[in-house]
Amino acid sequence: MGPISSSFIFPEWLEMLAAFLIGTGFGFALEQGGFSSSRKLAGMFYGYDTTVLKVFFTAAIVALIGSQLMSYLGLLNLNQVYVNEFYVAASIVGGVIMGAGFIMGGFCPGTGICALSIGKIDAMIFVAGGLTGAFLFAESYPLIQDLANASYRGPVRINESLGLSSGLFTLIIVAAAALMFWIAELAEKRFARPDITAEI
Amino acid sequence: MRNKITILLLSLSLILALLPLTANRSFTEKPGKLLSDVLDEDVTFSVDQVARFIVTEDSTIRIIDLRKPEEFRKLCLPGSVNLPYAEFIGTDPDMYLNNRNIKTIFYSNSDLDANYALVYARGLGYELTYAMEGGMTEWMNTVMESKFSGERISARENAVFEIRTRAGKLFTELNSLPESEKVRFMESKKFSARKLDGGCE
Amino acid sequence: MKKNYMNPYLAGTMLGIVLLLAMFISGRGLGASGGIKYCVVSVVGAVDRQHASNSVYYNKYFENGQKPLKNWLVLEIFGIVAGGFISGAVSKRLTFKIEKSPKISNKRRLIFAFLGGVFFVYGAQLARGCTSGAALSGMAVLSTAGFVTMIAIFGSAFAFAWFFRKNWI
Amino acid sequence: MKLLKQYWLVLLILLLTAAAVLARTFCHSIFKYDAGRMAKPSALKTNLITEEQLSSLKGAVLLLNLGETGISGDKHGNFTMKVNPDSILVPKYLDKIVSQKGPVILSCSENSVSARIWMVLTQLGIRNLFILTADQDPEILKKEFRPDTLSMPEL
């Protein structure tokens, strides 16, 4: 019965080891998917390489379907899985700032760290920028505290606010993603660039 | 590859959409085992045993009051925490029962709610859960109205009587408090629901 | 000889399974920006403890003698480095280099990378999660916050894409 | 054939999942319902029935006598079954309860036993299950508490 952490108290070293191993899997999957290349990542926003879109949505959907199936089969208690807290203003403003950072730097924090590990110098600079960003946030926290905590909605699930069952909502998401994949592959042909794999 | 994975994910989510799925959980214990567990005698404590826990301030025991908040404010066992039964089954009990070193005793006014809660908690795998026999009614009858009767009293009876008197005194003191003071006292003993770990906080 | 990247759908499935495993083992999703924050917090705590305990923000990370570096999110970051390195070694992609469009200078690329990092993590702290912590993990549990953050990130990146096109195309 | 060769893995995963889901859906000897939702009638007290209400019930009623002193249903023309509480899950009895169309009434001198059996059977998906009680609502406290206004506690 999962999550294991709810029925079994990990000793500290085991918890740290589990975190490390999950991180390893995370980094491995990111690197194999091509997320260690900023040009591949940024390519999504110009239509010439939609790898990000495909990997990102496939991953989210696999986890979404998998967790619900496991829940139905009695293997995973979804009440014990963390649901992100919804701070409306912070989510939107933060997301917009992140989008700007994404297109400037070509990485997101996870992919930046992953790219750093294979020796990308730009990724190292990106992560250094990230550390600076975290520091700036901490120092400026008193100024933006109000925005960060505004319009708190709690850990809400989107299907519940829409009044749909989670299964039905998942089906809609998957159908939308399938359509998106199809469009993405059309776009790749339309905005094709000379193959940059060799340069990466 | 795209087609394969798309088809696979689409059909899996189609299965999901057809299931009467909720994000909540069902009992995890096997029915047969659960039944024999809860019909066992050791899933209940008598009011005398509970009185002893109260008097000795046993820290391995937590008493949960399943009655409505207004009833709780009017009358409650010393050291108990209020968690109305409807709320108990409406939320994930892990927030209240996840401590594996503490025994939880449920009580209500009679036997019904406490025993529902007992089976509910045990069915979800919380083994250290118990019910107080007879509930508040039994407490009032036995502990509060206990009197010497007969001429000779055995040592054992004397011990029971002693506990009852002391528990009764604690109970009377607590419940004789003016409403406002009682509320203040109870606020300090409210459940602080455990938050789940996660996110990037 | 460098190997090609894995098929994106296959890599996505693998990533999804890792995420599912994380949910199954720890009841939490994946995250990266949180670990970066904890690194900063611990450095600040080591350099100027006085400042850290006075600040509303740092204060909570040092309550009851906690060590910010001994944390799930930080260990996960070390794991990402290890995992990325293993994958790079397997596929022979380990080299020191600056990846950029041939049309721009190294300096320009690095300046923008730094700025991008500042913006991204700043935004991630505000939204309480980055693409992995909020968008990916959030979507997997159908959290509204996850969907909103995801749309905001990708929407704004698309909107700003035009201004930075020289860097990439 | 070519299609099968290409898609065998997809088909295999689908079939396995479908089989697991079906097995779960149609298995009667495990708890598989949402615990909180099934338990709701007990919080609303709609699962209680008094003898008076019982006699006015129409249709086939199955009365489960769980103890020695439970009432007999003969006088109401109901079908009565005497079951020891710990053998209620024996297929002989359980099948009868599952296949019962009308209401099933639990009768026992001890409310605690009825309550436990009610919760177990309900979580197995049996609806229309009631507990026979002497009162409309046994969860109402009939005892009066006399506050002692003289004593002051030490908090």
Q: Is D153's CB within 8 Å of B174's CB?
A: yes
Rounded to whole angstroms, the Cα distance separating A40 from A37 reads 5
How many structural domains are present in chain D? 2
Query: pLDDT at position A29, please?
Result: 93
Interface of C with A in 68-97 (CB under 8 A): 70, 72-73, 75-88, 91, 93-97
- pLDDT at residue B58 greater than cutoff 50: yes
CB B174 within 8 A of CB B182: yes
The per-residue pLDDT for range A88-112, each reduced to its tens digit, is: 999 999 999 999 999 998 898 999 9
Peptide bond preceding A3 in cis form (omega within 30 of 0)? yes
- pLDDT at residue C148 greater than cutoff 90: yes
Q: Is A67 on the interface with B (CB under 8 A)?
A: no
Q: Is B5 on the interface with C (CB under 8 A)?
A: yes
Q: Residue D101: which CATH number?
A: 3.40.250
Residue D23 belongs to domain spanning = 1-29
- pLDDT at residue B114 greater than cutoff 90: yes
Q: Residue B163: which CATH number?
A: 3.40.250.10
**Cα D15–chain centre separation:** 34
Rounded to whole angstroms, the Cα distance separating D111 from D132 reads 9
Q: Does A185 reside within a domain?
A: yes
D56 plus D3 within the same structural domain: no
Q: Does D148 reside within a domain?
A: no
User: The tokens 């969860």 sit on which residue?
Assistant: D139
D16 plus D40 within the same structural domain: no
Q: Does A55 reside within a domain?
A: yes
How many structural domains are present in chain A? 1
The beta strand positions in chain A, using DSSP E, are 86-87, 152-154
Query: pLDDT at position D155, please?
Result: 46
- pLDDT at residue B201 greater than cutoff 70: no
D58 plus D113 within the same structural domain: yes
Rounded to two decimals, the pTM is: 0.81
Minimal CA separation from B158 to chain D, in Å = 24
The residue of chain D with its CA nearest to that of A72 is D21
Name chain C contacts of A177, Cβ cutoff 8 Å. Answer: none
Rounded to whole angstroms, the Cα distance separating B173 from B55 reads 13
Rounded to whole angstroms, the Cα distance separating B82 from D100 reads 38
Q: What does the block give as tokens for B147?
A: 């009197």
Interface of B with A in 20-39 (CB under 8 A): 21-26, 28
Chains A and C touch (3+ CB pairs under 8 A): yes
D62 plus D16 within the same structural domain: no
Q: Does A183 reside within a domain?
A: yes
Query: pLDDT at position B81, please?
Result: 87
D123 plus D65 within the same structural domain: yes
Rounded to whole angstroms, the Cα distance separating A138 from C41 reads 8
Rounded to whole angstroms, the Cα distance separating B2 from B62 reads 55
Q: Does A61 reside within a domain?
A: yes
DSSP D74: G
D13 plus D71 within the same structural domain: no
D7 plus D60 within the same structural domain: no
D35 plus D107 within the same structural domain: yes
Minimal CA separation from B51 to chain A, in Å = 31
| Residues of chain B above pLDDT 70, percent | 85
Query: pLDDT at position D78, please?
Result: 65
Rounded to whole angstroms, the Cα distance separating C128 from C79 reads 21
Q: Which of B30-44, B109-123, B177-191, C41-55 has the lowest mean pLDDT?
A: B177-191
Minimal CA separation from B41 to chain D, in Å = 11
Q: Is C24 on the interface with A (CB under 8 A)?
A: yes
Work out the pLDDT band at B98, boundaries 50, 70, 90. confident
Residue B125 belongs to domain spanning = 31-193
CB D66 within 8 A of CB D107: yes
Q: Does D139 reside within a domain?
A: no
Sort A190 into a burial class: Cβ within 10 Å, 0-12 / 13-18 / 19+.
exposed
The residue of chain C with its CA nearest to that of A60 is C140
Q: What is the rounded average pLDDT of the residues C109-122?
A: 92
How many structural domains are present in chain B? 1
D86 plus D15 within the same structural domain: no
Mean pLDDT computed over every residue of chain A: 87
Mean pLDDT computed over every residue of chain B: 82
Q: Does A148 reside within a domain?
A: no
Q: Is C10's CB within 8 Å of B1's CB?
A: yes
Q: What is the rounded average pLDDT of the residues C122-139?
A: 90
Q: Does B24 reside within a domain?
A: no
D52 plus D80 within the same structural domain: yes
Query: pLDDT at position B198, please?
Result: 64
Query: pLDDT at position B20, please?
Result: 67
* Residue partners of C168: CB distance under 8 A and separation at least 6: A39, A42, A43, A45, A46, A106, C101
Q: What is the rounded average pLDDT of the residues D62-90?
A: 73
The residue of chain A with its CA nearest to that of D23 is A73
Q: Does A179 reside within a domain?
A: yes
Residue C104 φ then ψ, to 5°: -115, 160
Minimal CA separation from B156 to chain D, in Å = 28
Q: How many CB pairs under 8 A join B and D?
A: 157
Q: Is D26 on the interface with B (CB under 8 A)?
A: no
Mean pLDDT computed over every residue of chain D: 80
The per-residue pLDDT for range C14-69, each reduced to its tens digit, is: 999 999 999 999 888 888 888 888 888 888 888 888 888 888 888 778 776 677 77
- pLDDT at residue A153 greater than cutoff 90: no
Q: Is A62's CB within 8 Å of C12's CB?
A: yes
D71 plus D127 within the same structural domain: yes
Residue A171 belongs to domain spanning = 47-79+157-200
* Residue partners of A140: CB distance under 8 A and separation at least 6: none
D40 plus D114 within the same structural domain: yes
Q: Does D86 reside within a domain?
A: yes
Strands D104-107 vs D79-82: parallel, antiparallel or unpaired: unpaired
